Amino acid sequence: MRLIVTADLHYNHPVSRPLADELIDRMNAAGGDVLLIVGDTGVADGDVIERCLSRFKFDGPKLIVAGNHELWTHRADSYALFNEELPRRVTAMGWQWLETQPFVAGDVAIVGSVGWYDYSFAQASLGIPDRFYGAKLSPGAATYLGGYEHLFQPDTDISDVARDTVARWNDGKFIKLGRSDHDFLTERLANLASACEANAGARQIIAAVHHLPFRELLPPPKSAQWDFAKAYLGSEQIGRTLLRYPNVSTVYCGHSHMPGEATVGHIKAVNIGSGYRYKTFGQLDF
């Protein structure tokens, strides 16, 4: 069987949409037996997700996991959106929501998760305390915007580099989980572990996790602003969870918009590498 896989279509973005349409045309022509999207198809508000998914003309199973952008909403509850509304919407279109329903074909299973972040990829060289990462603001941005005086108590653990770094992570504006990032990640990893354990007898497990599972896939240093964002690219705990299962052979991710491959222990990790201005897909025979 052949798996066709992509990520980060960002169909709501005006620059990204025509490139996504062209990629979907190429994927429709590529054939394959199983189709997989590893997050960030589009934001949840409106019908962007439906318009994107309807462009795929594929006869085989169609699998999907959410990315952080599917949780972006102007409504109050991203958590209910993730657990109730999104699964219902994609299932109604004939897609399988991997977060709660792994795909099994013979002795191969495909499991999925949005993943998430716990700031374990934060760059120590920036000297930014975790409370700023929790607020999705760098110290420089908190100073510029005002109203975040509580983050500077105390102020003795904030480096000069941190004070000069002006950056924010927009999940803080558009995602309302009602719980900490650490707690949400813990839930997702427990769910991912349960899926792997349920398929312990499979010869091979392929994992689809939107956020990066291994530090080896992080983009190279670029600037303080870009390095600030690395705290939100994934978590070391994702990789550690998957490494507990010897039959997990491959993990696909996206999110960073930078292609990459790394072999960590017995797992080959592949970042698809699609972004707003460049789209691609991968293939895996299993």
Length of the chain: 286
213 touches 234 (CB < 8 A): yes
Give dist(CA 79, CA 206) in Å, integer.
26
**How far is residue 199's CA from residue 49's CA, in Å, rounded to a whole number?**
29
- Preceding peptide of 154 cis, ω within 30°: yes
Residue pLDDT, tens place only, 85-125: 999 999 999 999 999 999 999 999 999 999 999 999 999 99
| pLDDT tens digit sequence for 180-204 | 999 999 999 999 999 999 999 999 9
- In this prediction, the residues of the chain whose per-residue pLDDT falls under 70 are none
Distance CA 154, CA 188 (A): 32
Specify the pLDDT at position 107: 97
Q: Who's near 137: CB < 8 A, 6+ residues apart?
A: 145, 148, 151, 167, 168, 169, 172
- pLDDT for 76: 84
Cα–Cα distance between 246 and 270 in angstroms, integer? 17
Q: Are 96 and 103 in contact (CB under 8 A)?
A: yes
Mean pLDDT of the chain: 97
Tokens representing 64?
């999907």
* Burial (CB count <10 Å: 0-12, 13-18, 19+), residue 147: exposed
Q: Shortest CA distance to 184 belongs to which of 50, 68, 96?
A: 68
For residues 228 and 138, is the Cβ–Cβ distance under 8 A?
A: yes
Res 75: pLDDT: 86
Beta strands in 70-187 (DSSP E): 96-97, 103-105, 108-113
Whole-prediction pTM? 0.97
Phi, psi of 270 (to 5 degrees): -130, 120
